[in-house]
Structure formats: structure tokens, C-alpha cells
Amino acid sequence: MRITLQEDLDRLQADVQQEGALVLRSLRATVNALRTRDLELADEVIAFDDEVDDLYFSIAEGIHTLLARQTPVAIDLRLVLATLHINLHLERMADYCVTIAKLTKLVGGVEPDDDLMQGFDEMGTRAEEMIRVALESFAARDLDGATSLVDLDEFIDRANRRVVGHVLELGGDEEQREWGLRMIIVSRCLERIGDHAVDIGEQTAYLVTGEFREFTDASRDDMPDRRV
Amino acid sequence: MVREAEVTSERTPIKLAPVARHEARPRGEDAVFEIRGLSVRYGDVVAISGVSMDIGSRQVTAIIGPSGCGKSTFIRCLNRMNDLVPGAAVDGRALYHGEDLYGSEVDPVEVRRRIGMVFQKPNPFPKSIYDNVAFGPRVLGMSKQLDERVERALDRAALWDEVKDRLKKSALSLSGGQQQRLCIARALAVEPDVILMDEPASALDPIATTRIEDLMYELKNDYAIVIVTHNMQQAARVADRTAFFSVESVDGQRSGVLVEYDETAKIFTQPSDKRTEDYVTGRFG
């Protein structure tokens, strides 16, 4: 038994779970800031990203060292490679939270549309659920759980399409239209967070089965397209 | 390159069918060895049991596994080195280009010319560099154009440039890595088509090891190479296919068995057998 390798792998997985917890905090805070027009909280989300980035770099360095020193193979190699990708997906999610926070600051003076805000709240909740499912499936090597992310993603995609439709109906003055365009980006960010959660599910599937495959693919007729 | 016809014409008649030149055949597709149900006993001790596998031409095949799993026993069967061990008995079939290596008509000396072997510890004769390489061809009556043959073998073993000015010096004056390449040159000098290597780099430093590994990469264009190694990363680096042997209880007796044999990339990324995974990840053995 290679004790050092196992300890390094355990630490890596714990760090990824920790990074996921940070992303969940960031996501909840950014949606709250948007909904309540809390610009202070939006600033906190932007500053908080440094913590995610620090952990991201620490995990990347850990993987670098582990590959160089332990030369993992088989299941261990797949775990390290999956972790490398998951680390990046989580960091991207945090970046989307920052984008939402910045947009929140830009539209601070505009009275929000209640229906839209309710829609974002729902998208945020679903995105949180997806992140939890993605991280739990990864920890438990749960292929079914990982695959279920595709269905969960469909709810966010639908909500995203509703937002776009709603914004198109807004009309109104220039300020309102500008607000609407920014809200489309917010919606898109939440939708992309869902996509990254599905990507984490794909990494779990790779870890379990050893096969690289996408759960969905826009260019193939026999697979659903979630990039919308 | 000396052609097969020239070589055979100056040797004692052989009892194995001539080997077709393999340049026209795609790498690895044709089997040099077809091993079927091979078992080896040393007296009452069963060393390996029921091994079946094909070994392809023009590729490197690595044999890995824990101590005592029969790796060395297995490759020693491939050139009948086990004949030299008192009490050794071989069951099953070991076909070399379709011909039974253990057939009654087969000459073990000719087998060992065709199927050369390099050992863990470099073992040059206490003679000159030149004589070490020339020894095999002389004994086998292949001494025509001997200088060219020696140069060609040393060149193929990536040693010529280092020794061309001191061919008459003792082989023992060479470094460990050079001595090992000399042993490879010695094997190449008698025009084999298979080279067996039993832990060829385990006594060498990392630089000398790299040279041996580079050499294997070069030589597999013309030879089948079978290497036993304890160093799994070495197997991962050099081998096209890897066989994992382990020790199991067979009919109530501990014995070496072949657990898994596949493309090296598969063995080291997604082995099919849990025992292989436990071994390559360092959780067993």
C-alpha cells in the first residue's frame, strides 16, 4: 500500500469538496445580492473569488506535484485527471458568480422585475442542487447520480429560455432594455454553471468507467444538446 | 545487413524451419510465440501454471508481477534456458513461428541463437570487447566477414562509437551500462529475431537505463523483444503490450499465473482485472 499516494489523493479530494463548498456560498450570495439589490454583498462576492482562486491554484499545484512524484496509474491516474478537470469547472463557476455580481452593481438603480427575480432565484436553487449532486456523485463514485445531472440541467435550460422570452417582451425605454440585456447575461451565467456541473458528472463517469464521453452533444442527433 | 541465406549457408544445418524475413509484415500482427497452457515445475514446486499468450513480432512485450510469480521462469521457457535447470519440467506448448520449441527434433543451441537473452547483471566474458561479440558467430561457424559482423552488432547496440578505438581492450574496462549494451551486441551478432531481456536495466543508473530503453525502441523495428521488469514505469514506457503475472493457488498449490495481458496503455490506465489494478497502483505486491 502506498500510504503517501493515498494520503495525497485523499487530500486532493477533500480540497475539491472544499472548493465546491466555496462555490456554493458564492452562488447563494450572488443570487441574493441580485434579488435584493445588495451592492455591498455583490462586492463581497467579487472579493470572495480570491479564496476560490487560491484553493484552485493550490489544488492545481498539488496535482502537479503528485503527478511528478507519485506517477499514479489506473484508477489513481483517472482520479487525478478527473480532479484536474473538476478543479477548473468549479473555478469557472465561481467566475460566473463574479460576473453576476458585477452585473448586479451595474443595474443597481433599476427596479427589478419580480417575475424575473423569482426565475433567477429558481435557477440559482437548481444550480446549487446540481453542484451538490455533482460533488456527491464524485465522492461516492455514483454513476447514476452523475448521469442524473443531464435531467437536472434541463430545468435550468428551460428557465433560461423563459428569461430570454420575458426580456424580449419587456420593450420599454432604453434603460429598461439595457437592464433586460444584462439580465440575459445573468441568466446565461446561471445556465452555464449548470453545464459545468454536468461536466463534473462526466468526469465522475470517466473515473468510474474509464471512458471519455460527453453526456450530451449538439452535433449528434442521438444525443441531447444542452448548450442552449 | 547479412541476409538469412548467407548466414545459414555457413552454419551447421538447423532443425528449425527458416524464419521468413519480417520486414513485409506489419508490426505485432503476427505472433512470434504462441504459448498454450504452459506450466513449469522445478521438482515438486510448480513455478507457472496454464500460461497462454501470443507474443507479437517487432514490438516490446513486458512481463511484470511480484517476486516469485514466475516471470523469469516464463521467459526462460522461450529459449529453453530452463533445460539447463536440473529437475525442471515443461508442460503445454510453446510454438515459435508455429513450430514446437520443445519438439524432439529441435536443437536447443539453434533455439538460443534465434532467441537471444540478456540478463540482469551484465556478464561479459573476461576477454576483449571484440572477442565478446565475435564469440557467438565463431562458435556457430558464422565467422565470414567477422569484422563487419562485429561492427554491425556494436552499432546496432549503440555502442560502436564509444568502443571503436579500443576493441582489443578488456570488456571488463567498460562501465556497467556499456557492458550491458555489449551483451546486447553479443546477442545481436548471431542474427536472432527475438531478444529476451531479464531485468536488463535493474543494475544500471538512470542514464544508462535510458540508453537501454532507447535501444529497445530502436531494436523493436527488427526484433521481437520480451522484457521482464520489476520497474512498472519502465514497462509503461517501453512496452507495446504488457502481461501481468501473479501468484495464485492452483489445485491447492501456489503457482505463477498469467492474470492479464493487454495493450500497455490499457494495463496502466484501465486494467480489466482487480488484481492487476491493485498491483500497478501499488496496493499489493
Work out the angle at residue B36's Cα, subtended by the Cα atoms of residues B34 and B38, and round it to the nearest 5 degrees: 115
Residues in contact with A109: Cβ distance below 8 Å, sequence separation at least 6, in sequence order: none
> B281 vs A2: CB contact, 8 Å cut-off?
yes
Model pLDDT for residues A179-222, shown as the tens digit of each residue: 899 999 999 999 999 999 999 999 999 999 999 889 987 676 66
* CA distance readout (Å), A52 to A16, A56, A197, B156: 10, 6, 16, 55
Query: Does the beta-carbon distance from B270 to A71 stay under 8 Å?
Result: no
Structurally, chain B folds into a number of domains equal to: 1
Q: Which three cell numbers, joined as nine digits, stand for B117?
A: 537473452
Phi, psi of B247 (to 5 degrees): -100, 125
A→B contacts (Cβ < 8 Å), by residue, are: 1-2, 5, 71-78, 210
Please give the share of chain A, as a percent, with pLDDT higher than 70.
Answer: 95
- How far apart (Å, rounded) are the C-alpha atoms in residues B58 and B29? 9
Question: Which of chain A's residues have a Cβ under 8 Å away from the Cβ of B283?
Answer: 1-2
Q: Looking at the predicted structure, is the pLDDT value of residue B7 above 50? A: no
Q: What pLDDT is attached to residue A226?
A: 54
Residue B167 lies in a domain: yes
What is the C-alpha separation between B256 and B260, in angstroms, rounded?
12
Decide if A5 and B236 are in contact by the 8 Å CB cutoff.
Answer: no
Nearest Cα to Cα of residue B224 among B2, B19, B32: B32
Degrees, nearest 5: CA angle B56-B61-B66: 140
B232 neighbourhood in chain A, CB within 8 Å: 73
Q: Which CATH number is A3-209 given?
A: 1.20.58.220
Contacts with B277 from chain A: Cβ below 8 Å = 74-75
Q: What per-residue confidence (pLDDT) applies to B15? A: 59
Per DSSP, the three-state class of B241 is strand
Q: What is the mean pLDDT of chain B?
A: 89
**What's the pLDDT score for residue B17?**
58
Confidence (pTM): 0.82
Asked whether the predicted pLDDT for residue B6 surpasses 50, the reply is no
Residues of chain A with C-beta less than 8 angstroms from the C-beta of B233 = 71
End-to-end Cα distance, chain A: 46
* pLDDT for residue B119 is more than 50: yes
Question: Which one, of A141, A134, A107, A111, lies nearest residue A194 by Cα?
Answer: A134
User: Given an 8 Å threshold on Cβ–Cβ distance, is B277 in contact with A74?
Assistant: yes
What is the residue whose three cell numbers read 565478446? B132
A-B CB pairs within 8 A amount to 32
Which residues of chain B lie closer than 8 angstroms to A5, CB-CB?
A: 281-282
Q: Looking at the domain assignment, is residue B201 inside a domain?
A: yes
pLDDT tens per residue, range A126-139: 999 999 999 999 99
B87 touches chain A (CB under 8 A): no
Is B218 inside any structural domain?
yes
Q: Is the pLDDT of residue A227 over 60?
A: no
Cβ separation A73–B283 shorter than 8 A: no
Residue B194's Cβ-count burial label (10 Å; 0-12, 13-18, 19+) is: buried
Write out the residue range of the structural domain in which residue B196 sits. 4-280
Q: Interhelix angle for A74-106 vs A3-36, to 10°?
A: 20
Q: Would the CB atoms of B282 and A2 count as touching at under 8 Å? A: yes
- The mean pLDDT value for B261-275 works out to 94
The residue ranking higher by pLDDT, B98 or A4, is B98
* DSSP-derived pairing of the beta strands B253-263 and B224-228: unpaired
Any idea what DSSP says for residue B173? G
Phi and psi dihedrals of A217, rounded to 5? -155, 120
Shortest distance between the Cα of A6 and any Cα of chain B, in A, equals: 10
Q: Do B269 and A210 touch (CB under 8 A)?
A: yes
| Binding-face residues of B in 173-232 toward A, CB within 8 A | 232
Query: How many beta carbons lie within 10 A of that of residue B208, not counting itself?
Result: 19
Question: pLDDT band at B203, cuts 50/70/90?
Answer: confident
Q: Provide the shortest C-alpha distance from residue B75 to chain A (in Å).
A: 26
pLDDT tens digits along A45-84: 999 999 999 999 999 999 999 998 888 999 999 999 999 9
Contacts 24+ apart (CB under 8 A), B137-146: B137/B189, B137/B190, B140/B11, B140/B12, B140/B109, B140/B113, B140/B190, B141/B10, B141/B11, B141/B12, B142/B7, B142/B10, B142/B11, B142/B190, B142/B191, B143/B10, B144/B6, B144/B10, B145/B2
Place of cell 465561481: A94
Q: Could you read off the pLDDT of B58-108 as tens digits, one per residue? A: 999 999 999 999 999 999 999 999 888 888 999 999 999 999 999 999 999
| H helices present in B37-96, as ranges | 71-78
Question: Å from B141 to nearest chain A CA?
Answer: 48
- At B242, the amino acid letter reads T
Instruction: Compute the distance between CA of residue A207 and CA of residue A201 in angstroms, rounded to an integer.
Output: 10
The answer to whether residue B176 scores a pLDDT higher than 50 is yes
Per-residue pLDDT tens digits for B10-22: 444 445 655 544 4
In total, chain A counts a number of residues equal to 228
What CATH code is carried by the domain that includes residue B34? 3.40.50.300
Nearest to B38 by CA among B250, B210, B239, B283: B250
Rounded to whole angstroms, the Cα distance separating A100 from A107 reads: 11
The pLDDT value recorded for residue B285 is 56
pLDDT number for residue B25: 43
Predicted local distance difference test score (pLDDT) of residue B10: 43
Average pLDDT over residues B154-172: 95
Residue B29 confidence (pLDDT): 63
Residue A93: pLDDT above 60?
yes
Per DSSP, A175 falls in state H
Q: Does the pLDDT of residue B9 top 50, yes or no?
A: no
Q: Nearest to residue B182, comparing CAs of B136, B111, B142, B123?
A: B123
Which pLDDT score, from 0 to 100, does residue B5 have? 37
Contacts of A78 in chain B (CB under 8 A): 269-270
- Contact B255/B248 with Cβ under 8 angstroms? yes
pLDDT of residue B4: 38
**Helix B146-156 to helix B176-188 angle, to the nearest 10 degrees?**
130
Residue B75 in any domain: the answer is: yes
In a domain, B248, yes or no: yes
Tell me how close the Cα of B271 comes to any Cα of chain A, in angstroms. 7
Looking at the domain assignment, is residue B285 inside a domain? no
For range B191-208, the mean pLDDT: 93
